[in-house]
Chains A and B, each alone.
Chain A
């Protein structure tokens, strides 16, 4: 579309206004996390902390054992990421680069689980883990990632694998390679960018997960950051300075990971959204 000068200016103004609305919550978060309580409660509100109360962060992160929450979150995030990348890329390979009878039917059946509300399965899943004596451990949050890593990720990788020319496999076959070698030496390396997308999505999903830890964890010593932050809010209700400092700390790694991998994120969303 070739818009006129006037409409371009109007659109520009609208975009700036909208962006401001999306940014203000972040600004408010940071500004509040650096203020002392008396300044935070002044009316009308001020935007610049005076003085910058950096000690909020130290205080917020030590009243509850956030180092333990961080360690637990890291264990979950890393192990889930490894499991997701391995099993979803293997699965996507099986669903796209190998011909077998019933393949597409099986894939379609598996895809239905994307429509399934998680709420339908939480009670039996909870009972199952409890029966195995694994309630209040990190296993229920980790193990499922090693079984396919989520159909969404398989779907995403399969979309990508389908764009790699078949001739590559044929040539490798002629050279005496087997499926496993084609996967490890050809398809996996070629799909680096899609793998990064899956890894990034997996990181965010497990870093942000709230319902899973809420249901499966009971002991504080196993809590994740998301759960710890919620507990913090329940305990220090009106301490908005500390609450914002703790929240900012939980948000920061996500922002860093996003900005570092932004290109892949946008690519990934486009890849999954296009041929739904």
Chain B
């Protein structure tokens, strides 16, 4: 199959070159940069060894730990919320209710709204003085909030705005649910089990691969949140929404400390790798694949 080799490489050449130029190359360059003190505004650039990493971990850079903590908090809040809510909605959609297609469209639609526009809409909805949400709350005699302008409410508020866009996660769950053979439910009915037994003994075990997939993608996405930080809050108030990637961007592009920012980038990479690895490792104990092996 000599010819196959030649044509195989020919057809995949753009993709392989693209990987080398736009992924592998920059990654190596980023690693090298992280060992320098490269700053666009300074003339001299030299290798500083692990100095950038020492500066990060020694606590000299308070904002590093701060942004890390904020991002973790965001991930811990957002990932379960996204998974539980979208799974719940998918369960509802999976019942054969009338108008199912319309509900599905409505729930998916917000996820195609450009991030900037979505941010504008939510800033307006959550405006403390004139926004719809506070005015509804006060009419119901419920406590209002400063939302994006409050130091303790800013992160939950950002989570809330991102929940508007969970449509694609719902659709993926729905695809997983529709793949469950009907006989499994009938077996439970024969045994006299109710909806809870169906949920815990059939539905949840059968969609664990989908839960697994969605969890991984949501974790990776949540660690990298940037648009929301840039547009909604600019890291404020008082750095309380200093998301990690926003801090990275600010360090690299506003303060022009590209060497140091590259070190930040690599730490993010390792963190994401670590969490992905953990989810993969534990998946063996809770993810159920029909027929044993993964396709």
Contact = CB atoms under 8 A, between A and B. Distances in A.
B112 A254 contact: yes
Interface in A3-32: 3, 7-8, 11-12, 14-15, 18-19, 22-26, 28-29, 32
A233 to B, nearest CB: 6
B125 A90 contact: no
B159 interface: no
Given A18-B89, A29-B121, A154-B15, A120 B8 contact: no
A251 B117 contact: yes
A179 B7 contact: yes
Contact of A124 (B26, B113, B114, B185): B26
B262 interface: yes
A247 B117 contact: yes
Given A123-B258, A211-B227, A244-B124, A275 B295 contact: yes
A262 B25 CA distance: 37
What is the interface of chain A mostly: helix, strand, loop, or mixed? helix
Interface string B155-194: 0000000001000100110011001000001000100000
Given A106-B16, A115-B220, A116-B23, A123 B30 contact: yes
B224 A119 contact: yes
A133 interface: no
Given A124-B27, A179-B7, 9 more contacts: A26-B110, A41-B130, A95-B12, A100-B7, A103-B8, A121-B265, A122-B249, A211-B226, A270-B171
B124 A269 contact: no
B99 to A, nearest CB: 8
Contacts of A251: 113-114, 117
A70 interface: no
B139 interface: yes
Interface stretch (B48-56, B57-65, B145-153, B268-276): B268-276
A266 B115 contact: no
Q: Which 9 A-B pairs have the closest CB atoms?
A: A147-B18, A94-B11, A100-B8, A148-B15, A273-B172, A124-B29, A94-B12, A121-B26, A148-B18
B19 interface: yes
B95 A3 contact: yes
Contact of B116 (A8, A12, A99, A210): A210
Interface size, B (range): 35 or more
Contacts of B18: 87, 144, 147-148
B120 A247 contact: yes
B82 interface: no
Contact of B33 (A106, A123, A230): A123
B81 interface: no
A204 interface: yes
A240 interface: yes
B130 A43 contact: yes
Interface residues of A, number: 97
A250 B130 contact: no
B143 interface: no
A127 B16 contact: no
A186 interface: no
A177 interface: no
B74 interface: no
Contact of A274 (B1, B12, B125, B175): B175
A1 B12 contact: no
Contacts of A23: 106
Contacts of A22: 106-107, 109-110, 164
B176 to A, nearest CB: 7
B175 A91 contact: no
A247 B123 CA distance: 12
Contact of B95 (A8, A26, A93, A208): A8
A148 B121 contact: no
A65 interface: no
A74 interface: no
A226 B114 contact: yes
A156 to B, nearest CB: 13
A115 B103 CA distance: 31
Nearest to A44: B135
B291 interface: no
A91 B19 CA distance: 12
Interface string B183-215: 001000100000100100000000001101110
A123 B265 contact: yes
Given A1-B95, A8-B95, A18-B89, A269 B168 contact: yes
A147 B171 contact: no
29 contacts: A19-B103, A25-B122, A28-B132, A29-B121, A91-B12, A94-B11, A98-B4, A99-B1, A103-B12, A115-B220, A117-B268, A117-B272, A119-B224, A123-B262, A124-B33, A144-B22, A148-B15, A148-B18, A179-B7, A183-B11, A210-B227, A211-B227, A215-B249, A229-B120, A230-B116, A230-B230, A247-B117, A251-B117, A257-B112
